[in-house]
Amino acid sequence: MKHISKTVWILSLISLFTDTASEMLYPILPIYLESIGFTIILIGVLEGVAEATAGLSKGYFGKRSDVSGKRVPFVQLGYAFSAISKPMMAIFIFPIWIFFARTIDRLGKGIRTGARDALLSDEATPQTKAKVFGFHRSMDTLGAVLGPILALIYLYYFPEDYKTLFVIAIVPGLLAIVASFFLKEKKSNLQTEKKSNSFFSFLNYWKQSPKVYRKLVIGLLLFTLFNSSDVFLLLKAKDAGLTDTAVIGIYIFYNLIYAIFAFPLGILADKIGLKKVFIFGLLVFSTVYFGMAWSTNIYLFFGLFFLYGVYAAATEGISKAWISNVSEKKDVATAIGTYSAFQSLCTMLASALAGIVWFRFGAASIFILTASAAIVVSIYFILSVKD
């Protein structure tokens, strides 16, 4: 575990606890909302508002973290918001309150993301970035394995007791808050620059950023525009004949593979190059989506979700490590926050596009389109972006 510092361990444990809390609720959130009277349209609006809040706030608070020179307060506040939002959704069932609670949760993610990733970057050298980010992603995704398992066990003994599950989810959330108080601010982070405080001031960074950053982010966003929500993969598995329990099980399996491979693939990326491993991930992604387009074999889906976990491990942490390597140290939170803001908006567009294509032309069309786009993006990275 060389190069994994105390700060990286603490941040990783915080993410593990927080993701455990979030993923306890993720599989049952739509069911719970329907049980208290939310229509499908209202659920869609709720998630759209929540994701837009998270996306745009990542850029703003990333910028604020760089300007203030502070990291830890943003991390602590962000994780606190996410923790308290869980029981809030069970207290009252009024739509406006549910919107408020869900927005608080996503705002917390926006507040912490840039500062947290900048802290991780500070704990690594350019030669160990992928390893550090990979370890963090591995621990974070372990929470996405534990959360649904705990939810399944609880609902097995207490069927449809959704409200209590929301209250129980505060426990790992509180553990995350407690762990965050062990973080220490580094003196070297301090800055006293006076810059614009407007909500969209982070957008100015795009013009000021290094050319290699812009080329990298353009490629990442182009891929994101075609990479729709994982919900569509789960729907395809459901359409192929998997039961509801099996669909949740295959989702847990995917996250387990992601958690297992994120750290070793990060180590490999530091040795042979982030670009090579990232492109490998895109090609694996393309294989999965081509497979999804034509597969009707239930057992083959487990193989495809295994590969999908490998793809996630080869790209998600590595993309942030790559961004932090091509950005100046004083702008890391802004650089990652700006990318994350654009990424959230592109994800919304991708999911909307996928839904339209699926409805008009069938499921196979969206999977073939997405797989083809991943190959095009791979060629773009090979020809246009330096490691």
**What would the pLDDT profile of 179-234 be if each residue is shown by its tens digit?**
999 998 876 544 545 555 666 667 788 888 889 999 999 999 999 988 877 777 87
User: Looking at residue 358, what is its pLDDT?
Assistant: 79
Between the two ends of the chain, the Cα-to-Cα distance in Å is 25
Q: Distance (Å, rounded) from C-alpha 109 to C-alpha 55?
A: 9
Burial status of residue 317 (CB atoms within 10 A of its CB: 0-12, 13-18, 19 or more): buried
159 has pLDDT over 90: no
Residue-wise pLDDT for 329-369, tens only, equals 888 888 988 898 888 888 878 877 887 887 788 888 888 99
User: Looking at residue 189, what is its pLDDT?
Assistant: 47
Instruction: Report angle CA 226, 306, 266 to the nearest 5 degrees.
Output: 80
Q: Specify the higher pLDDT residue, 29 or 169.
A: 169
* Region for residue 208 given its phi and psi (left: phi exceeds 0; alpha: psi -120 to 50; beta: otherwise): alpha
Average model confidence (pLDDT) across the chain: 86
* Percent of the chain with pLDDT strictly greater than 70: 93
- Among 55-64, 92-101, 115-124, whose mean pLDDT is lowest? 92-101
User: Looking at residue 29, what is its pLDDT?
Assistant: 73
Q: How confident is the model at residue 288 (pLDDT cuts 50, 70, 90)?
A: very high
User: Looking at residue 199, what is its pLDDT?
Assistant: 63
- Among 39-43, 92-96, 322-326, whose mean pLDDT is lowest? 39-43
pTM of the model: 0.86
Q: Distance (Å, rounded) from C-alpha 62 to C-alpha 318?
A: 19
* Residues 6+ away with beta carbon under 8 Å from 138: 12, 258, 259, 260, 261, 262, 263, 313, 317
User: Looking at residue 190, what is its pLDDT?
Assistant: 44
Q: How confident is the model at residue 55 (pLDDT cuts 50, 70, 90)?
A: confident
User: Looking at residue 197, what is its pLDDT?
Assistant: 61
The residue extents of the domains of the chain are 6-182+204-384
Q: Distance (Å, rounded) from C-alpha 290 to C-alpha 370?
A: 8
Kindly indicate whether the domain formed by 6-182+204-384 is annotated with CATH number 3.40.50.10580.
no
User: Looking at residue 126, what is its pLDDT?
Assistant: 86
Q: Specify the higher pLDDT residue, 321 or 235.
A: 321
User: Looking at residue 383, what is its pLDDT?
Assistant: 92
User: Greatest CA span in the chain, whole angstroms?
Assistant: 59
- Collapse the DSSP code of 266 into the 3-class scheme (helix H, G, I; strand E, B; otherwise coil) and give the result: helix
- Among 173-177, 246-250, 329-333, 336-340, whose mean pLDDT is lowest? 246-250
